[in-house]
Copies of this chain bind each other. A is one copy, B any other.
Amino acid sequence: MREALERPGLISLAAGFTDNPSLPVAETRVIIKDLLKGNKGPSRLQYGTTYGDEPLRKLTAQRLDRMDGCPKQAKGYDPDRFLITHGSQQLLYILNEILFDPGDIVLVEDPSYFVYLGIMQSHGVLGKGIRMEPDGLDLLSLETTLETLKKSGELARLKALYLVSYHSNPTGITTCAAKKEAALKILKGYEKSAGHPIYLIEDAAYRELSFSDKDTPSALSSHNASNRVIYTSTYSKPFATGIRVGYGFLPEPLFTTAARVKGNHDFGTANFLQQILSSAVESGSYEEHVQKLRKRYASKARAMTRACKKHFPEKVKWENPEGGLYLWVNLPKKVKTGLRSKLFIEALKQKVLYVPGNLCYCDDATRRKPNHQMRLSFGSASIKHIEEGISRLGRAIKRVM
Contact = CB atoms under 8 A, between A and B. Distances in A.
Interface of A: 17-18, 20-21, 23-25, 28-29, 32-33, 36, 41-48, 86-87, 89-90, 93, 115, 118-119, 122, 240-244, 260-261, 264-267, 269-273, 275
Nearest to A25: B41
Nearest to A43: B20
A174 B17 CA distance: 44
A44 B265 CA distance: 25
Contact of A266 (B21, B43, B89): B89
B270 A86 contact: yes
Given A29-B33, A36-B29, A45 B241 contact: yes
Contact of A45 (B23, B47, B87, B264): B23
Q: Please name the 4 residue pairs, one residue from A and one from B, whose CB atoms are nearest each other, closest first.
A: A242-B271, A45-B240, A20-B42, A25-B41
Contact of A264 (B93, B240, B260): B93
Contact of A46 (B18, B29, B44): B18
Contacts of A115: 264, 267
Contacts of A93: 264-266
Contact of A36 (B20, B28, B86): B28
B122 A241 contact: no
Contacts of A122: 260-261, 264
Number of copies: 2
Nearest to A276: B272
B29 A242 contact: no
Contacts of A271: 241-242
Contacts of A264: 93, 115, 118-119, 122
Given A45-B28, A264-B122, A272 B242 contact: yes
A86 B85 CA distance: 11
A21 B39 CA distance: 9
A376 B173 CA distance: 55
Nearest to A123: B264
8 contacts: A18-B46, A23-B41, A25-B44, A32-B32, A45-B241, A87-B267, A90-B265, A241-B271
A233 to B, nearest CB: 15
A266 B86 contact: yes
B273 A47 contact: no
Given A86-B269, A93-B266, A265-B265, 11 more contacts: A20-B43, A29-B36, A33-B33, A45-B240, A45-B243, A47-B241, A87-B267, A122-B261, A122-B264, A242-B270, A243-B272
Nearest to A91: B266
A119 B272 CA distance: 25
Contacts of A32: 29, 32, 36
With a 10 A CB-CB cut-off, give which of A41, A44, A270 has the most chain B CB atoms. Answer: A270
A244 B261 contact: no
A21 B33 contact: no
A266 B244 contact: yes
Nearest to A273: B270
Given A118-B264, A272-B273, A36 B42 contact: no
A269 B273 CA distance: 12
Contacts of A87: 266-267
Contacts of A272: 240, 242-243, 273
A77 to B, nearest CB: 24
Contact of A243 (B86, B241, B270): B270
Nearest to A121: B264
A101 to B, nearest CB: 12
A124 to B, nearest CB: 13
B89 A267 contact: yes
